[in-house]
Amino acid sequence: MMDLSIVSTLYYSAPYLESFYQRVRDSATRLTHNFEIILVNDGSPDASLEIAIHLQREDARIRIIDLSRNFGHHQAMMTGLMHARGEMVFLLDSDLEEDPELLETFAEKFRASGADVVYGVQERRKGGLFERLSGAIFFRAFNALSSHPLPRNLITARLMTRKYVDALVRHQERETLIAGLWVLTGFDQVSLTVTKSSTRKSTYSLRRRVAHLVNAITSFSSKPLVFIFYLGCFILLLSTVAAVDLILRKLLFGTLLAGWASLMVSIWLLGGLTIFCLGVIGIYLSKVFIEVKQRPYTVIKQIYEVSGSETDLQREEFQTDRQVFR
């Protein structure tokens, strides 16, 4: 059993990968020599895979999981966690927005707290006004509609125990939000405030951010469906009151409200609400459709790793105290 597994994903990571490897290797070495670095290539179109293979030839502790195409950041992370063998697992991005040296800080917090998970949160969201505002809206909207709220300004970096990771990867949702699974899995979790830098412009456009929010909410909450029920009850109540008003006007005063404009507005309003509600229901049905197919998270094209005998020799060479995190 490894003392530590470091898991990261690759997608347009070529400019940062060598520096990331050197820094995270040096940081891990100060804790234990018995560790592995798992790099999941999420169909990166740049030279990330080639650079990773070159690094792996020089350091047998690197394992590369090459996916057959781009499956998405969350699915790639889950795949990496499934292949982690360490008693402790450190997850972080390879774009250097999260400092690899955070591993040592997380380890100190882990020893002091005795928790199962130490996760990072930003003191203040990085990026410009749009990125900060959209991030704040996402967390507010998600937490308002979810029974398992997320910590605000949550980041990828986190240090986890083996038992927590084993429980986490038991989740089999195909359409998911990994941050929601982190919370849903439970165990004792403590936060650590860190500073996240900006090394590149975010690839999330407004359309992708809205799609991400819709997917996150419909993957983890049934509240929109409940809301539709109460919306229907409210409209039914209003229409009943309006019908009673019209009947009383006719019986008591012999008059009816005239005008086609209000009628057309009512038709458009109710028609729009009907289409909206059907759309929400359709999203949930599409997720049921995807889940019942039981398609795999990802498809692995190839795994680059050293053979068993060579790995065993290296483990003997770097054997150290197993209680590095306690």
Q: What is the pLDDT of residue 68?
A: 93
Distance CA 83, CA 67 (A): 13
Start-to-end C-alpha separation, the chain: 16
Kindly tell me the sign of the dihedral angle through the C-alpha atoms of 312, 315, 321, 322.
negative
304 DSSP β-pair partners? 64
The fourth-level CATH superfamily of domain 2-220+296-317 is Spore Coat Polysaccharide Biosynthesis Protein SpsA; Chain A (3.90.550.10)
Pairing assessment for the beta strands 86-91 and 35-41 based on DSSP bridges: unpaired
Q: 92: exposed, middle or buried (C-beta count within 10 Å: 0-12, 13-18, 19+)?
A: buried
pLDDT below 50 — which residues of the chain?
309, 311-322
Q: What is the pLDDT of residue 286?
A: 77
Q: What is the pLDDT of residue 86?
A: 94
pLDDT tens sequence across 105-122: 999 999 999 899 999 998
Pairing assessment for the beta strands 62-67 and 189-194 based on DSSP bridges: unpaired
Q: What is the pLDDT of residue 292?
A: 77
| Model pTM score | 0.76
119 DSSP β-pair partners? 158, 191
By the 8 A CB rule, do 174 and 297 touch?
yes
Question: What does residue 35 show for φ and ψ, rounded to 5 degrees?
Answer: -140, 165
5 DSSP β-pair partners? 36, 89
What residue spans define the domains of the chain?
2-220+296-317, 223-293
Name the strand (E) or helix (H) holding 109.
helix 102-113
Name the strand (E) or helix (H) holding 144.
helix 129-145
Q: What is the pLDDT of residue 225?
A: 78
Q: What is the pLDDT of residue 326?
A: 66
